[in-house]
C-alpha cells in the first residue's frame, strides 16, 4: 500500500510508506457553492478551519464526516481528492491506500466511504479497523495471541475495542467525543466567566498543553467576547477548571469501556493479562482523559509513539 489514511471527524492524518506523515490537519474544507458537482474546493485543513464561523456568503466550511460516518458522498469525494493533492498525489496516477473505519460501522457506511475513496482516485482501497491500526501505532503486533484493548477517542465518537489475532472480540461506542468536550469548555466559559468564545478558541483551550502526561501547572489566557457588554475581553482559566468542565463528557464516554473490559475478561484465559492501549485519533485530548482511563481498570497501559 502507498498511503494510510485516518479519516476522522476532527482530524485527518495521511502517512506514506517512505516519507512518514505527510498530512495532519483538521477535517474541514472550504467550498464555493455552485450546486451539485459544480462545488469548488478553495481550502482544506487548517486554512479552512480558520474560517469556521467567518466564511462570507456563497462560501461554506464543511466537515465531510459526522460521528465517524460519511454524510454526503460528494463532499467526501471532493475532500479526499483535495487531501491527496496536499499529500503530493495526482488523481491521474493510481494510489493504493488503507483507510481506517470505526469498529461499529455498518456494511453500508463502510461501503459509502470506500466508494467515495474510489471516486477520488484511490484504487485499490482497503478498510481497516481503527482499533487495529491504533494498536500498530502503539507498537503492538495485532496478530499476537493475547487480548489487547484499545480506547480510541475521536472527534465524534469514543470507542473501546478488545481484539486478538487481528480480529475484534467486542467493542463499545459512545457518541461523546472531542467535539462534545469542546462544547463543554465553551459552556463552562459562558456560565462561569460570562465569556463567549467560538469553536476554534474553545478547541485551543481544551487542547492547552494536552501533550503533557501530568497536570499542566500554568493558566491559559482565553480571548472572547463579554456576555454582557459584547466587547472583547480576556480571561485567565486554570487547567484544573478545564479538566472539571470536560470530566462529565469523559465519564460518559469511559463508562462504555468497563463493559467491553468485562466481556474481554470472560473470553481471555485466566492465566493471561489483557493490556490496555490509549489512542487519540481525533482530538489532542486533555491529560485528564488519559489519567481517567489509566486508573479505570488497574491494567498495564501503553501510549502511541506518535500521531
Q: What is the largest CA-CA distance in the chain?
A: 64
Q: Which of 126, 165, 168, 174 shows the shortest CA–CA distance to 150?
A: 168
User: Mean pLDDT over residues 121-141, rounded?
Assistant: 83
Q: Is the pLDDT of residue 195 over 90?
A: yes
3-133: what CATH class?
alpha beta
Question: pLDDT, tens digit, for every residue of 247-262?
Answer: 888 777 666 555 555 6
Identify the H or E element spanning 110: helix 107-119
Integer Cα distance of 81 and 65 in angstroms: 15
Q: Is the pLDDT of residue 78 over 50?
A: yes
Integer Cα distance of 121 and 136 in angstroms: 26
Do the two domains 3-133 and 178-248 of this chain adopt the same fold? no
Pairing mode, strands 65-66 and 69-70: antiparallel
Please tell me the chain's helix, strand, coil percentages from 3-state DSSP, rounded to the nearest 5. Answer: 35, 30, 35
Q: Is the pLDDT of residue 95 over 80?
A: yes
Looking at residue 176, the DSSP 8-state letter turns out to be -
Question: pLDDT, tens digit, for every residue of 197-215?
Answer: 988 888 888 877 544 444 4
Q: Is the pLDDT of residue 277 over 90?
A: no
Q: Which of 122, 173, 129, 167 shows the shortest CA–CA distance to 147?
A: 167
User: Mean pLDDT over residues 24-35, rounded?
Assistant: 83
Question: What are the domain boundaries of the chain?
Answer: 3-133, 140-176+249-302, 178-248
Integer Cα distance of 188 and 162 in angstroms: 34
Residue with the larger pLDDT of the pair 184 and 93: 184
Question: pLDDT, tens digit, for every residue of 40-52?
Answer: 888 888 888 888 8
Q: Is the C-alpha dihedral spanning 295, 297, 300, 305 positive or negative?
A: negative
Q: What's the mean pLDDT when you consider all of the chain?
A: 77
- Residue range 140-176+249-302 in CATH 3.40.190.10: no
CB 30 within 8 A of CB 59: yes
* Torsion from C-alpha of 240, 242, 244, 250, nearest 10 degrees: -120
CB 52 within 8 A of CB 45: no
Q: Give the architecture (CATH level 2) of 178-248.
A: Alpha-Beta Complex (3.90)
CB 306 within 8 A of CB 137: yes
Within 10 A of 37 (CB to CB), how many other CB atoms are there? 9
Q: Is the pLDDT of residue 280 over 80?
A: no
Residue entry with cell 493490556: 275
Distances (CA, A) of 298 to 35, 274, 285: 54, 11, 21
Question: pLDDT, tens digit, for every residue of 137-170?
Answer: 777 887 888 777 777 777 777 787 888 787 787 7
Reported confidence tier of residue 134, pLDDT bands at 50, 70, 90: confident
Amino acid at each position: 500500500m502507498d498511503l494510510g489514511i485516518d479519516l476522522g471527524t476532527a482530524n485527518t492524518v495521511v502517512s506514506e510508506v517512505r516519507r512518514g506523515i505527510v498530512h495532519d490537519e483538521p477535517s474541514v474544507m472550504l467550498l464555493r457553492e455552485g450546486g451539485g458537482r459544480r462545488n469548488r474546493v478553495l481550502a482544506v485543513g487548517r486554512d479552512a478551519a480558520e474560517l469556521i464561523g467567518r466564511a462570507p456568503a456563497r462560501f461554506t466550511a464543511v466537515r465531510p464526516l459526522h460521528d465517524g460516518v460519511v454524510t454526503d458522498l460528494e463532499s467526501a469525494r471532493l475532500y479526499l481528492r483535495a487531501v491527496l493533492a496536499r499529500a503530493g498525489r495526482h488523481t491521474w496516477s493510481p494510489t493504493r491506500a488503507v483507510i481506517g473505519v470505526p469498529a461499529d460501522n455498518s456494511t453500508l457506511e463502510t461501503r459509502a466511504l470506500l466508494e467515495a475513496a474510489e471516486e477520488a482516485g484511490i484504487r485499490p482501497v482497503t478498510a481497516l479497523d481503527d482499533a487495529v491500526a491504533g494498536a500498530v501505532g502503539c507498537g503492538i503486533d495485532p496478530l499476537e495471541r493475547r487480548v489487547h484493548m484499545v480506547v480510541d477517542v475521536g472527534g465524534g465518537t469514543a470507542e473501546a475495542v478488545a481484539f486478538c489475532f487481528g480480529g475484534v472480540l467486542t467493542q463499545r461506542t459512545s457518541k461523546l467525543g472531542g467535539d462534545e468536550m469542546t462544547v463543554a469548555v465553551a459552556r463552562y466559559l459562558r456560565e462561569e466567566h460570562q465569556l463567549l468564545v467560538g469553536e476554534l478558541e474553545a478547541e485551543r483551550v481544551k487542547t492547552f498543553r494536552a501533550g503533557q502526561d501530568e497536570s499542566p501547572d500554568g493558566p491559559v489566557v482565553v480571548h472572547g467576547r463579554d456576555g454582557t457588554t459584547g466587547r472583547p475581553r480576556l480571561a485567565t482559566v486554570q487547567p484544573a477548571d478545564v479538566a472539571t468542565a470536560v470530566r462529565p463528557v469523559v465519564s460518559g464516554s469511559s463508562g462504555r469501556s468497563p463493559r467491553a473490559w468485562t466481556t474481554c475478561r470472560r473470553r481471555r484465559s485466566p492465566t493471561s493479562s489483557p493490556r490496555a492501549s490509549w489512542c487519540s485519533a481525533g482530538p489532542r485530548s486533555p491529560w485528564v482523559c488519559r489519567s481517567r482511563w489509566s486508573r479505570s481498570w488497574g491494567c498495564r497501559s501503553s501510549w502511541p509513539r506518535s500521531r
